[in-house]
Structure 1
């Protein structure tokens, strides 16, 4: 590893990153918008010079040549949450997938990497010599001060605050690449999404602290909360819907116990409008995931409310959220982290949401999970399961009561079959 000191006034050539990659090197790359595209282009363009370099990252947006396995063992992708850029590659066997809870990512990376180099997108350095990791803190910010960073500074990356600031003295090198960041434009919710949102919104009290995922149902819920007051944000992903709720005054953070008056997240994903809103917005605190998602931290916020999506639920309450039809689609993420934290929060609640049936009409509530499905959130942890037909409250309920509650929120076309299967399994008397 080179010991050269980077200069704020003199960016490096992207090719200089190759000097820091010894044989067997481990590289850590942020989630989603934090991808340093030019630096990864450089690694792929010089792959013949590399030996057994592994790139560790979560949820890549776009498939790349190294993810497809084009460079063999010279440059290989290790994934911790399948995204659109790695899903097919994993199915084809050209990359690896490591199971994890999102909160434990820094711990895992410390164990499985050896003197890693962090490659990340960042804002331009400020007059004090600090770069910001912008839309990200995630697991990469946990390595500030522990591992060298090689940054790709981008004038289009918003400058954010919190614990994602990297000083020039901690940077092995940096290059400049002013490129447009990708956008994730919200898809409008449908009637089912709004129905689910209505069931949950009426159960959320003013002053609650929220963790809400990204997608149509979360956006519908956020829109349904505009009449609430003094809500707080302590969330994994900050999205357009959360921004809208903050702007309308429903979210203030004044009743939070930790980082009061701050909107806490560990990464951001959304539209160009969200990126512009984030820039120099001191109300947002970007904090590493091993604090944000730690169930012990979450539990210290009273009336914490966690809302996440799942793929299917069986009649005992087991939730499979990372496989679809028995095939790996994503990974655990922070779902179990927040479900556990909410369970111990005074007055806390956790909701798992799903449409009652698939687009082809198959029930998502099943007597037994689809073969090959992976249990993401244990039945002992699941609190509420919500479909467009209502809320099944499971905590503290018997297996018989759970089956009855889940059948009641299943699609009406499937309820008779579910009752039959539940009796056959001994769940219903």
Structure 2
């Protein structure tokens, strides 16, 4: 059959297409904007569930209301609704490095079913997963059952995120605006100072991995006069458009696809999605390529920028837990941090405000609290940046690290931190 005939044959109602999910099979959805909202919602009323599991990542929606014996929900990186549900014991969290998720799911998933949003089919019979390639494309290539939610609001992107009509089991059409990132808070003075510090570590010709939020935005604002930058990142952030328009980005040194920006997912506003639509300068890759340390070592002068909740005197970085609330997960931080060491001329940067809660708490701490996850280990840490400066920890001893971190802590906490360091024998 030709693509048009297959399209007619596989076009179903949501009630019908969801029946392809058999008891005790595992459902996998993409991260953020790639989640198929209508198909996921249909799971709440589908009576064919029994012992199924849903592996989701940073959902933008409320956690599904399904009995756990019918559908166990497992997050791989938590968003707002998942944090609350995890604390209440309604969902579970699977520890992972983002680069390893496809392999991990291949090992543990039973009869995997991938459900994803796709842009409309082209004349050759291909759908594009648009904002996503992530962990779902490798599973599709491995033969998972594929159920799509076709949506004309999903941008058509290029790269390794194309799915042919012959490889899917069924699809629905659901044309609704895809989720957009909430507006980023206005940059604070702290954000701007951190942005300037990080920009001082970046040089013309570097390849950048950078995320989203007020601090990354502040960094990008300081890069508009740079030249010949390449973008190879996990997530394409909103501010990247301004960096392109300034002429700073050429992607000439991108080893993954010369002349193109490479990434595994995108999340932002409609403006970002319009920028991505049929943009031949953007090339989407699965996360086991974008984040794989063994492939990233070919990128010279790789600068990776990530955020932290707190850092202790050893250089251990917690980016996952805020107080007693599990906040997110490891994501790609550890992947890119290690890759920056392997890169010729690479630099790994971890950013954080020096304080929290109205300057009442120091985020440079003597030691992480018991039970706090270590996102980046002391052996992999490189640069730590706060609004008060830059601490290069790589190659430094424990005592040297302690002093360097106290120097970039908020001045009101330096005496207390010095006292604790002496008590611990670090100074």
Between the two proteins, the alignment pairs up a number of residues equal to 420
Alignment of 1:254-293 (within 5 A): 254-293=252-291
Contact 2:261-2:281 within 8 A present in 1 as well: yes
**CA contact under 8 A between 1:6 and 1:172: conserved in structure 2?**
no
SS of aligned partner of 1:144: helix
Task: Tell me how far 1:292 sits from its aligned partner.
Answer: 0.2
Aligned equivalents of 1:301, 1:346: Cα separation in 2? 7
**Cα distance in 1, alignment partners of residues 129 and 48 from structure 2:** 29
Asked if 1:158 corresponds to 2:155, the answer is yes
Give the stretch that moved more between structures: 81-90 or 405-414.
81-90
Is 1:363 the counterpart of 2:362 in the alignment?
Answer: yes
**Aligned mates of 1:8, 1:187 — CA distance in 2:** 43
Q: Which residue does 2:132 correspond to in 1?
A: 136
Whether contact under 8 Å (2:153, 2:177) holds in the other structure is yes
Q: Secondary structure at the match of 1:9?
A: helix
TM-score by length of structure 2 reads: 0.96
2:184 aligns with 186
Q: Tell me the distance in 2 between the aligned counterparts of 1:421 and 1:57.
A: 41
- CA deviation digits over 1:175-209, x for unaligned, max 9? 10001112113322111011001011112110100
Partner of 2:403: 404
Query: What is the aligned counterpart of 1:295 among 276, 286, 293?
Result: 293
Q: Distance in 2 between matches of 1:6 and 1:422?
A: 71
Larger mean CA deviation between 254-263 and 330-339 belongs to: 254-263
- Asked if the contact 2:304/2:347 (under 8 Å) is kept, the reply is yes
Q: Which runs of 5+ in 2 are unaligned?
A: none
CA contact (8 A) 2:63 2:85 kept: no
Aligned equivalents of 1:189, 1:119: Cα separation in 2? 36
Q: Aligned partners of 1:178 and 1:31: how far apart in 2?
A: 19
In structure 2, distance between residues paired with 1:175 and 1:117: 15
The answer to whether the 8 Å contact 2:225/2:246 transfers is: no
Match of 2:64 in 1: 65
Deviations 1:214-234 (A, max 9, x none): 111001101110010010011
Distance 1:380 1:6 in 2: 56
1:114 corresponds in structure 2 to 110
- Cα root mean square deviation, aligned: 1.3
**Residues 127-185 of structure 1, C-alpha deviation per residue, up to 9 Å, x if partnerless?**
11100001001100112332121100001000001100000010000110001112113
Whether the 8 Å contact between 1:233 and 1:263 is mirrored in structure 2 is yes
User: Distance between the aligned counterparts of 1:243 and 1:94, measured in 2?
Assistant: 38
Equivalent residues in 2 for 1:49-64 (5 A)?
Answer: 49-64=48-63
Please say if 1:90 is aligned against 2:86.
Answer: yes
- Which whole-Å CA distance do the structure 2 matches of 1:143 and 1:6 have between them? 25
CA distance, structure 2, for counterparts of residue 75 and residue 17 of structure 1 = 18
Residues 186 and 270 of structure 1 are in contact (CA less than 8 Å); yes or no, is this contact kept in structure 2? Answer: no
Which residue number in structure 2 is paired with residue 392 of structure 1? 391
Alpha-carbon shift at residue 54 of structure 1 (Å):
0.8
> Taking structure 1 as the reference length, what is the TM-score of the superposition?
0.96
Segments of 4+ moved more than 6 angstroms: none
CA distance in 2, matches of 1:16, 1:216: 43
Offset of residue 6 of structure 1: 8.2
Is the Cα–Cα contact under 8 Å of residues 14 and 175 in structure 1 kept in the other structure?
Answer: yes
Q: Which one of 123, 131, 149 corresponds to residue 119 of structure 2?
A: 123
Q: 2:248 aligns to what SS in structure 1? A: coil
Moved more, 355-364 or 382-391: 355-364
Q: Does 1:209 align with 2:179?
A: no
| More off after superposition, 307-316 vs 7-16 | 7-16
User: What's the secondary structure of 1:22's corresponding residue?
Assistant: coil
Residue pair 1:389, 1:410 contacting (<8 A) in 2 also: yes
My pick for the range that moved more, 321-330 or 124-133, is: 321-330
State the SS of the aligned residue for 1:73: coil
After alignment, is 289-298 or 400-409 more displaced? Answer: 289-298
Give yes or no for contact 2:314–2:398 (8 Å, CA) kept in 1.
yes
Structure 2 SS opposite 1:347: coil
